[in-house]
């Protein structure tokens, strides 16, 4: 760990301990995959160092790192099946394949992309909507990177662990409805446990969200359940066209007139 990284970790009061590291060189970049541990448990930190010395970092819980490893297997297989690049007819937005990882209050976007310099996997991380970091890995290094990450996960496991006295929070959820994505993120801060519900329109990434304290979840559930039951009753109620008594009355009335 560099002096700068050590200072950053200590300033956050994490008491970070480095357990293992692996280094990869792909084209003109170096990648460091570190397994570290603080009071909340083990985690993975990935750093990309460019030729100019610029550095980008991602931090993943062990379970998120395992999911990333699994997706990298899919991405490497997809990349192997692709034909040669066609710079005259690039894919829309340069994207060849995309996935999303949701873990605790963090979200990771995986995009296999193509541009004039070749194909690469971009991994972007968002934290509470206020921070975004990313790394880019040339597609030729996907298998090597996945293997290095797998070795670390095999050695240290995929359990996140939790801080002493902190409850294990439920997994975050994601659903897609028509052309919108909805994310349900469970978090914990000094005010207590909360749920953040975010609505994202994929086309322009416009996002809105609300935060619901855990003490109010049951009230929201009761309101939703009430609406669901009422809509079921409305859909099940017969209309005038379907009312057999109304039809019979019309027939009898016609007979009386005759």
Q: Where are the domains of the chain?
A: 3-156, 173-236
Average pLDDT of the chain, as a whole number: 80
Average pLDDT over residues 130-136: 81
pLDDT single digits (tens) 12-41: 444 678 889 999 999 889 999 999 988 778
Instruction: Give me the CATH topology for the region 3-156.
Output: Secreted effector protein pipB2 fold (3.30.2450)
pLDDT single digits (tens) 142-199: 999 999 999 999 988 887 754 444 566 788 888 888 888 888 888 776 577 888 888 8
pLDDT single digits (tens) 208-250: 888 899 999 999 999 999 999 999 999 888 766 665 555 555 5
The full DSSP string for 81-128 is: H--S--TTSPPGGGEEEEEEEEETTEEEEEEEEEETTEEEEEEEEEET
Helix ranges, the chain (H) = 3-11, 62-81, 142-156, 217-236, 244-257
User: Which one-letter DSSP state was computed for residue 53?
Assistant: S
Q: What is the pTM of this model?
A: 0.58
Q: What is the pLDDT of residue 245?
A: 57
- Determine the Cα–Cα distance for residues 150 and 36; give it in Å rounded to an integer: 15
Average pLDDT over residues 74-82: 91
Q: What is the pLDDT of residue 258?
A: 44
Structure-block tokens of residue 147: 């293997």
Q: What is the pLDDT of residue 199?
A: 86
Average pLDDT over residues 56-78: 92
Instruction: Give me the CATH topology for the region 173-236.
Output: Nuclear Transport Factor 2; Chain: A, (3.10.450)
Q: Which residues have a Cβ under 8 Å from the Cβ of 142 and sit 6 or more positions away?
A: 72, 75, 76, 79, 121
Q: How confident is the model at residue 53 (pLDDT cuts 50, 70, 90)?
A: confident
Question: Directed axis angle between helix 62-81 and helix 142-156, to 10°?
Answer: 150
Share of the chain above pLDDT 70, in %: 75
What CA dihedral angle connects 212, 163, 133 and 20, to 10 degrees?
Answer: -160
Q: What is the pLDDT of residue 248?
A: 53
173-236 matches 3-156 in CATH topology: no
Q: Which residues have a Cβ under 8 Å from the Cβ of 94 and sit 6 or more positions away?
A: 113, 114, 115
Q: How confident is the model at residue 115 (pLDDT cuts 50, 70, 90)?
A: confident
Q: How confident is the model at residue 9 (pLDDT cuts 50, 70, 90)?
A: very low
Q: How confident is the model at residue 11 (pLDDT cuts 50, 70, 90)?
A: very low
Q: How confident is the model at residue 72 (pLDDT cuts 50, 70, 90)?
A: very high
Q: How confident is the model at residue 122 (pLDDT cuts 50, 70, 90)?
A: very high
């Amino acid at each position: 760990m560099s002096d700068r990284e050590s200072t950053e970790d200590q300033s956050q009061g994490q008491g970070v301990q480095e357990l293992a590291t692996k280094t990869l060189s792909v084209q003109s970049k170096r990648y460091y995959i570190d397994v570290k541990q603080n009071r909340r448990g083990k985690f993975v930190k990935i750093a990309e160092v460019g030729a100019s010395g610029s550095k980008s970092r991602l931090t993943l819980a062990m379970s998120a790192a395992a999911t990333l490893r699994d997706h990298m297997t899919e991405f490497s297989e997809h990349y192997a099946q692709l034909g040669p690049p066609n710079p005259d007819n690039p894919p829309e937005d340069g994207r060849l394949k995309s996935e999303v990882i949701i873990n605790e209050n963090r979200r990771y976007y995986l995009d296999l992309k193509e541009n004039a310099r070749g194909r690469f996997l971009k991994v972007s991380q968002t934290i509470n909507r206020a921070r975004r970091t990313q790394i880019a890995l040339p597609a030729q290094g996907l298998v090597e990177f996945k293997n290095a990450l797998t070795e670390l996960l095999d050695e240290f496991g995929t359990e996140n662990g939790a801080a002493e006295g902190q409850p294990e929070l439920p997994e975050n959820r994601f659903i897609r409805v028509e052309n919108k994505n909805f994310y349900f993120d469970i978090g914990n801060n000094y005010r207590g446990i909360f749920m953040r519900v975010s609505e994202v329109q994929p086309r322009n990434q416009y996002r809105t969200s609300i935060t619901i304290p855990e003490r109010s979840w049951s009230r929201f559930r009761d309101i939703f359940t009430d609406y669901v039951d009422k809509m079921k009753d409305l859909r099940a109620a017969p209309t005038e066209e379907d009312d057999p008594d109304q039809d019979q009355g019309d027939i009898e009335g016609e007979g009386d007139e005759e």
